Chain A
């Protein structure tokens, strides 16, 4: 009798352990799957943003931006903003919005979001903005000079270039791989609740 009880108990214990381990394994797999999906999604969104913006980061300052091409970029950036509204960090979305405004504007000002409204960047804040957008001193000094050029084409193209570079800056700062890793952890926690 005792042997039978031990046998049944062992059988039950084995079944419980098997069930437990399969639950743990499936939970681990689910976590990994969520992380991988998010990373895939992130890399695809990131590529899309970089593709849309990169052409605008090195415009020739002296060449007038063709109106049709400009409108097409404007539309592309506008679509990206809404398409990835629920995925991109706020700072990247803001930078995309300001690039959209710069493309729609022909005077060459720089823009900022202040008190939940789009405003012109104050003159005193422009050097700091330029420094964020330019990796090298050379480019920063030329950008500062170009923004004060008498030629409206130069000013306008420089403004678009700086805003396009600012999108990349925010993407690298606020949507880096490290940030995404933290994000996947947060999502996993939500998924496991």
Chain B
């Protein structure tokens, strides 16, 4: 699975969590500006955790608060074997 697939999957997860169509999600938009709130953010992180098998921490989210940023963090995590989000 390449980075584009990861990005599409995250976009699809986010779309499900927010009740939007994946095409409505700009990968460069801030997740908060897309409408993520305190409940949906945990739902998104949990679903990413169960899909990729590692946890994204607060520093990662803060450093990359976009779909594209999350995609890169997930890709990096998978390359490292996935102990953390970094």
Contact = CB atoms under 8 A, between A and B. Distances in A.
A148 B41 contact: no
B62 A142 contact: no
Contact of B33 (A126, A139, A140, A149): A149
Interface residues of A, number: 21
Nearest to B59: A127
B48 interface: no
Given A126-B62, A147-B62, A138 B32 contact: no
A144 B39 contact: no
A119 interface: no
B65 interface: yes
Interface residues of B, number: 17
Given A137-B42, A148-B65, A142 B58 contact: no
A27 interface: no
Contacts of B38: 136, 138-139, 141-142
Nearest to A147: B62
A140 B32 CA distance: 12
A149 B21 CA distance: 21
A150 B30 contact: yes
Interface string A117-156: 0000001001100110000111111101111111100100
Interface of B: 30-33, 36-39, 41-42, 45, 57-59, 61-62, 65
Interface of A: 123, 126-127, 130-131, 136-142, 144-151, 154
Q: 5 tightest CB-CB pairs across the interface, nearest first?
A: A145-B32, A138-B38, A144-B62, A148-B65, A127-B58
